[in-house]
Amino acid sequence: MAAVFLSIALVPAGTANAASSTYYVSATGNDTNAGTSSEAPWRTLGKVNSTSFQPGDTIRFHAGDSWVGQLWPKGSGADGAPIVIDRYGDGAKPKLVGQGAVGEVVRLFNQEYWEIRNLDVSNAKPATGTPGANLGDFRGIGVHGDNGRTLRHFVVDSVDVHDVTGEVKWIGGDPANNSPGVTWKTGWDRSKNTGGIVFTTTVPNIAAPGNPTVLTGITVQNSTIKNTSFAGVTVKQYTGDAPGAVRTGWGTRRTADDVLFKPHTNVTIRGNYITQANTAFGGNGVYLTNVRDGLVERNVIDRVGVSGIETYYADRVTVQHNEVMGTHHAQGSADANGLDPDVGTTNQLFQYNYLHDNGDGILLCGCGTPKFGSAVIRYNVVTGSKRWNLHMWQEAGTVASIYNNTFYSTDAPNMVSGNNSGRATLTNNLFVSGRSASFLQQSSLTYSNNGYSSNLTTRPSSDSRRVVGDPKFVNPAVRGPYGDENGPRLDTAANFALQNGSVFVDAGATVTGSGGRDFAGTPVPSGSRPDIGAFERGGAAPGISFEESFDGLATGLLANGTNGWRVISTGNEVRVVDTPSATDKSIRLNRTTDGGGTDGTNLARIFDTPLQGTVTIEAQVMRNDTQAGWFGLPYVYNSSGIQAVSVAFARGEILAYEGGTSRVIGTYASGQWYRITLTVDTVNQRFDLDIDGRRVLTDAAFRTSMPGIGKIAWYANAAERGAVHVDDVRISGGPAATN
């Protein structure tokens, strides 16, 4: 895939074109104020809602304050100049409370280019004496449209959405089972529209629907979504099946190439913590429907009902590096699975996920009227399932490839179950059980070269190349640590890696197009042949390699070696500063003269044993000067000290290298923070770049070969001058390289 560069002017929170303004809102403000300074803020949501904002404007709510009602500011941003909602001041995130009196607490309708950051949002109607009687058509954040256009760029970042008492409406079922708050057989358009963060579209007149409204460029990241019914995050398109409606078919896909299907596009759900542990009405964690080109990664889905992550009528979706645990049946649901590529889904890739202690494991449900679908399920670790580990309910016409997964359960009576008419191949999977669990055996299923624990006497007789024995797992009795609001603990899954002497080492078959790396990012094969299961022998699951907020450091010059940092500041300064605040510190690199040689003024992390596999490098960076100097923010080096991946801020431009060529990919403003995220793949020698959650560079080549990451540095040298800030560094991903 060729590298894709978006030549955009990136102007995130708080900056825009020359005409943009920043507006402040405080519980102690006054709506007669101009609102354009923190000393003279507005007071009410009504004032904000009656204002039409312009591209590049920012609306800031005072930290620690609270408002009751609905926030619905008007206007739209523009490409490179979104309108941003954020906070200001020290303290807790500003609270917006709906109390079940509004459909959604934060609302956008027929608007685009918006970014919502750092809010605390709830929408709970007070409970009555009857369970479910307080549920309604409620959302925390709702983004909607019906104007028949393509609406672009929606970022929800670092929000806390919780306690939304949304009703539960099921597409089908028996309406005789209806009860307060839970309704069956409501159809597509009237179902599953409530919860924490919801993106849906509709039409102004169901009898004359006009053209579809399509949302594109949706990102939900770094957020917590707790106790929100029906779902945590939902993306859904209109189809026209309510009484009196003209069917459009935009949402319900009839065939793989259905020309009526009009999905939302470019959807990313990343780095969120989603739980429904304290609501009896929670359904899906992530419900991604009617989407083309989606990415769901590095989320923690904790104790939700129905399904952890479900795709439905979707195309080209990748679900990876998530941890899903504790799913259960809720309000009459048939399912309680961790992952589910469901009806009408094509080109689904589910990989590198850790599922544990769920009611069910992975469901492949290409079922119902649409008789098509395609999915690849690979390198997942599935443990502790209660009912079944892998459930197949595929119709004729569907295709699934299931390989190199590890399934381990002491309880589930079914290892592979269902009723499968579609074509599916199962290769190099490792099935281990504490009991003699059953396997679905139908002519549509091809078992080849899978591994089975010795007690599985019911193993498929058709698997003529099967391998049987003791897996010699590291520690199958492991009980954590598990993921939380700080992110998934994929490293815990390494307890299901193979040890020396396992019969499954070097016993796998070669799978064409397997991706080249295992669950831990270790190259496949590492021996003479691939191993059976999700791990190559000796692999260690990806986790947090390093995390640093700098908040606990004393203000002042940063000494070399502090917390493992390599610091060079010859003739210049690398200093801990109270920016943004005394409780949220950062590092300031200030270069005013030559010094430091090739390293210059430098803040670096060095890995004595280089990192391999897929490694994610994140940091907040800010230039707060007007000088033209070139700062690497960051540069990534191989173990020989040669630059392989380079991102730089210079002369108002953000630059990155594709191979040996420097490209301008956006602009920056002095004094503005930017979240830089590099996803570096040392196996395939490529990287992606995101800025404030927006993908700006995809599948770009390294400058030089880098089998492992030896150093990451934020720096400037030679004649370059200027000042930058670095904060909230997080490095996660594959294990250190092994010889």
232-277 pLDDT, tens digit each: 999 999 999 999 999 999 999 999 999 999 999 999 999 999 999 9
State how far the Cα of 303 lies from the Cα of 325, in Å rounded to an integer: 6
User: At the top level of CATH, which class does the domain 545-734 belong to?
Assistant: mainly beta
State how far the Cα of 729 lies from the Cα of 587, in Å rounded to an integer: 11
DSSP state of 523: B
The CATH 2.160.20.10 domain(s) of the chain lie at 335-540
Residues near 34 by beta carbon (within 8 Å), at least 6 away in sequence: 40
pLDDT of residue 523: 86
End-to-end CA distance of the chain: 30
pLDDT of residue 538: 63
DSSP letter for each residue of 438-499: EE---TTEEEES-EE-TT-TT--TT-TT-EES---BS-TT------BTTB--GGGGGGGSB-
Question: Was domain 335-540 assigned CATH 2.160.20.10?
Answer: yes
pLDDT of residue 486: 87
Backbone angles phi, psi at 146, to 5 degrees: -150, 20
pLDDT of residue 734: 54
The CATH 2.60.120.200 domain(s) of the chain lie at 545-734
Say which amino acid occupies 26: S
Give the residue ranges of the chain where pLDDT is below 50: 1-18, 735-739
What's the whole-model pTM score?
A: 0.80
Buried b (16+ CB within 10 A) or exposed e, 510-522: ebeebbebbbbbb
Q: How many helices (H) and strands (E) does the chain have?
A: 1, 58
